[in-house]
Amino acid sequence: MNVVLGVGGGIAAYKSAELARALMERGMRVQVVMTQAAREFITPLTFASLTGRKVITGLFSSAGPEETLSSAIEHIAVAQDNEILVIAPATADLLARLAHGLADDFLTTLYLAFTGRVVLAPAMNNNMWMHPATQDNLAVLRKRGHVIVEPDEGLLACGANGPGRLAEPDKIAGVIVDLGAASSFHARDLEGETVLITAGPTQEPLDPVRFISNRSSGKMGYALADAAAERGAQVILVSGPVQLSEPQGARVVHVRTAHEMHDAVMAHLSEAGIIVKAAAVADYHLAQVPRNKIKKTAMRMSMDLDPTPDILAELGQKKGDRLLIGFAAETENLIESARQKLRSKNCDMVVANLVNQEATGFESDENEVVLVLSTGETIPLSRAPKREIADRIFDQVLKLRLALHAAQ
Ligand code: CTP
């Protein structure tokens, strides 16, 4: 999810740095915009270092006319590129300017051009907070549907005691995560991409009525297909047998066995620029499946199973400059095993999850994963609906591509 963090000029501006970090940790892309007054309290360099992005500080460039033009339309581009605008700290002055639609700097101009959700986290002296002018402005902003994260009570920077302290960064980040999950708006930042996704389990027949399979529900892969299609990608979803309805806008290829999945993936490889292997492919199969049902006897029985083709490993060999994202379902040593898989299968990212936890395992609607990247980074994504996790994975995939291109 893409978020603009607007920083107003108040003593609480230093806490916005913590907020920027909290948002990044939750897998969001953060574009910071600072008001002139904010720069009196904290430097743009702090935010640029935390977010890895240039901080926007002014509406008008002091340079030549072309630059003035490009910065004059930048607020429109930023407005279109982001789903949530959070302003923290929102000072009394900023609240007043937003309520009245004044547009005399980048942040207030962006606000008018912005069509996504707005979150305001005010911070100020307690008397300023309780003043009818501020409360009237808040009422106007609430009526517009903006989310106000109320300030905490306590000792204020000015020495007074009362409501006015900026809410804790983790709390503000939580509000943004919830809003993002509920929001149906997503940037179309995968337009022009073809994403090949595998999902669900495979079934390896033992005879005409029995098979070996696993507990994968396909929900994570389908959520990824949903997210990619909504963000404008062409989606090819190679799906094992699942009980889910087809994601809108995706081309679905139904397969049953690991071999069928292998063949379908390889047949579509040339079209794809991003490959996400969320399927839980069976590792073994019975090479000679009997034509008739195996009869029960009183004897112990055993079967010789052969390994299935390792689709991910083969993709790792053939991927060229495609981005390859694998999944690692583990019950122990999560990060280490994921790193090992990343290296051995030549992936760009491995999405690692502990599958022996009920709330975030195979059949669950939620997930909690760690992204292990080829850059050496590990990014934990805290527990969230699988659809939200899917978006955060694609946010990081796009970021990773930029980082890999920059390194070339
Ligand atoms: N995978 C694959 N082909 C297989 C087995 C797995 O493409 N025959 C892919 C899965 O889609 C997933 C990744 O490999 O992206 C990891 O699957 P997992 O079962 O966690 O790992 P394995 O490689 O099977 O290793 P192990 O079971 O020993 O952990």
Domain with residue 158: its CATH number is 3.40.50.1950
Same domain, 177 and 201: no
Q: Is 312 in the pocket of ligand 1 (CB under 6 A)?
A: yes
d(CA 334, CA 329): 8
Nearest CA, atom 28, ligand 1: 283
Q: Is 314 in the pocket of ligand 1 (CB under 6 A)?
A: no
Cα–Cα separations (whole angstroms), residue 225 to 180, 186, 220, 235, 278? 18, 14, 9, 6, 10
The CA angle 341-342-346, to the nearest 5 degrees, is: 110
Instruction: Please say which residue of 138, 159, 185 terminates a domain.
Output: 185
**Boundaries of domain holding 71:** 2-185
Same domain, 155 and 222: no
The CA angle 55-228-172, to the nearest 5 degrees, is: 45
Q: What is the pTM assigned to this prediction?
A: 0.62
DSSP type of residue 294: P
Tokens of 264: 């379908």
Same domain, 106 and 220: no
What atom in ligand 1 is closest to the CA of residue 283?
8
Spatial CA neighbour of 306 closest among 354, 377, 258, 235: 258
Residue 109's Cα: distance from chain center in Å? Answer: 27
Q: Kindly tell me the sign of the dihedral angle through the C-alpha atoms of 71, 72, 75, 80.
A: negative
What is the distance in A from the centroid of ligand 1 to the CA of 265? 15
- Find out whether 12 and 166 touch, Cβ atoms under 8 Å: yes
Instruction: Please say which residue of 147, 165, 185 terminates a domain.
Output: 185
Same domain, 181 and 243: no
User: Which one is catalytic: 77, 130, 158, 267?
Assistant: 158
Same domain, 180 and 203: no
What is the distance in A from the centroid of ligand 1 to the CA of 329? 8
d(CA 79, CA 72): 12
Same domain, 350 and 318: yes
Same domain, 144 and 249: no
Q: Is 200 in the pocket of ligand 1 (CB under 6 A)?
A: no
Q: Which of 216, 277, 319, 336 to mutate to test the pocket of ligand 1 (most atoms within 8 A of CB)?
A: 277
Same domain, 130 and 246: no
Same domain, 174 and 200: no
Same domain, 318 and 281: yes
Q: Is 311 in the pocket of ligand 1 (CB under 6 A)?
A: yes
pLDDT in tens, 311-360: 999 999 999 999 999 999 888 899 999 999 999 999 999 999 987 776 66
Q: Which of 203, 311, 335, 354 to mutate to test the pocket of ligand 1 (most atoms within 8 A of CB)?
A: 311
CATH number of residue 304's parent domain: 3.40.50.10300
* pLDDT tens per residue across all 408 residues of the chain: 899 999 999 999 999 999 999 999 988 999 999 999 999 999 999 999 999 999 998 765 444 444 444 455 777 878 888 889 999 999 999 999 999 999 999 999 999 999 888 999 999 999 999 999 999 999 999 988 889 999 999 887 778 788 899 999 999 999 998 887 655 556 788 999 999 999 999 999 999 999 999 999 999 999 999 999 989 999 999 999 999 999 989 999 999 999 999 999 999 999 999 999 999 999 999 999 999 999 999 999 999 999 999 999 999 999 999 999 999 988 889 999 999 999 999 999 999 998 777 666 677 888 889 999 999 999 988 888 798 899 999 999 998 988 888 777
Annotated catalytic residue 347? no
d(CA 397, CA 389): 12
Same domain, 38 and 106: yes
Number of structural domains (the chain) is 2
Tokens of 76: 């429109």
Which residues are CB-neighbours of 115 under 8 A, at least 6 positions away? 79
Same domain, 119 and 169: yes
Instruction: Please say which residue of 163, 185, 207 terminates a domain.
Output: 185
